[in-house]
């Protein structure tokens, strides 16, 4: 399980005007919610938060959120970014409760060279790059390793073929394609040297036609 730490403070002012002032002062408006607690408005330091988001898998990393001295284990559930500048405008944190399963998206790591690539010159098409999983907060995997060394040309690997860690349930459709080795691309035939002129076919004139 991947973890990271972030500091936050409780805020009392809410609304668009207050949020604009916070951003101008170098803070990011946020909210924390979860089972058995009321949503609580927070702020985080913009620079610290941006640095954190650049180095973690946001959908599956447990954030130990220190709110004015009280630490809560959370997941980032939503990141709102500026449509042009792409800086963070707002964050949603979900507090985790031991024994209460959560839904997360975990990246896939492909391992090995497929048989269809090594022996038949195929190309590995990585259709899926993450899996939708359900598990206890303490069992969230950092990634799912998928061994593709046995995958043959034209024989797709499906979700139902994967081996998952104990206590982890996959939420994706069992028949969904994870990856497939596609046939090698065939080079286009070269054009005729000199570029032959196309044959022009005309309808013969009938009698009396001018």
Q: Do 110 and 158 fall within a single domain?
A: yes
Please indicate, yes or no, whether residues 55 and 132 belong to a single structural domain of this protein. no
My answer on whether 80 and 13 are in the same domain is yes
* Residue 129 domain boundaries: 102-182
Structure token digits, residue 87: 């800086």
Q: Average pLDDT in the 163-191 region? A: 86
Mean pLDDT, range 26-33, rounded to an integer: 95
Question: Are 85 and 131 found together in one domain?
Answer: no
**107 and 154 assigned to the same domain:** yes
> In this structure, are 15 and 68 located in the same domain?
yes
pLDDT tens track for 45-78? 999 999 999 999 998 999 999 999 999 999 999 9
**Within-domain flag for 69:** yes
Contact yes or no for 62/2 (Cβ under 8 A): yes
Q: What is the pLDDT of residue 180?
A: 97
Cα 88 from Cα 85, distance rounded (Å): 9
pLDDT bucket at 14, cuts 50 / 70 / 90:
confident
Note whether 88 and 7 are same-domain residues.
yes
- d(Cα 101, Cα 44) in Å, to the nearest integer? 26
Please report whether residue 196 resides in a domain.
no
Q: How confident is the model at residue 35 (pLDDT cuts 50, 70, 90)?
A: confident
pLDDT tens readout for residues 120-165: 999 999 999 999 999 998 889 999 999 999 999 999 999 999 999 9
Q: Let me know whether 58 and 117 are in one domain.
A: no
Q: Is residue 194 domain-resident?
A: no
Indicate the number of domains in the chain: 2
Task: Kindly report the pTM of this predicted structure.
Answer: 0.76
């Amino acid at each position: 399980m991947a973890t990271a730490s972030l500091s936050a403070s409780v805020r009392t002012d809410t609304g668009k005007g207050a949020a604009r002032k916070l951003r101008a002062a170098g803070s990011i408006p946020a909210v924390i919610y979860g089972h058995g607690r009321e949503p609580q408005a927070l702020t985080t330091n913009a620079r610290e938060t941006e640095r954190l988001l650049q180095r973690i898998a946001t959908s599956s990393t447990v954030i130990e959120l220190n709110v004015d001295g009280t630490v809560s284990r959370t997941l980032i559930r939503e990141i709102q970014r500026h449509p042009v500048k792409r800086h963070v405008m707002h964050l949603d944190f979900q507090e985790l409760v031991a024994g209460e399963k959560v839904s997360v998206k975990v990246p896939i790591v492909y391992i090995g060279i497929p048989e269809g690539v090594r022996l038949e010159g195929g190309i590995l098409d990585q259709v899926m790059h993450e899996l939708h999983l359900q598990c206890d907060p303490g069992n969230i995997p950092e990634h799912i390793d998928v061994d593709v060394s046995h995958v043959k040309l034209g024989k797709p690997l499906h979700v139902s073929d994967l081996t998952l860690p104990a206590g982890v349930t996959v939420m994706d459709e069992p028949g969904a394609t994870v990856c497939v080795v596609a046939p090698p691309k065939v080079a286009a035939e070269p054009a005729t040297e000199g570029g032959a002129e196309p044959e022009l076919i005309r309808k013969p004139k009938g009698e009396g036609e001018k």
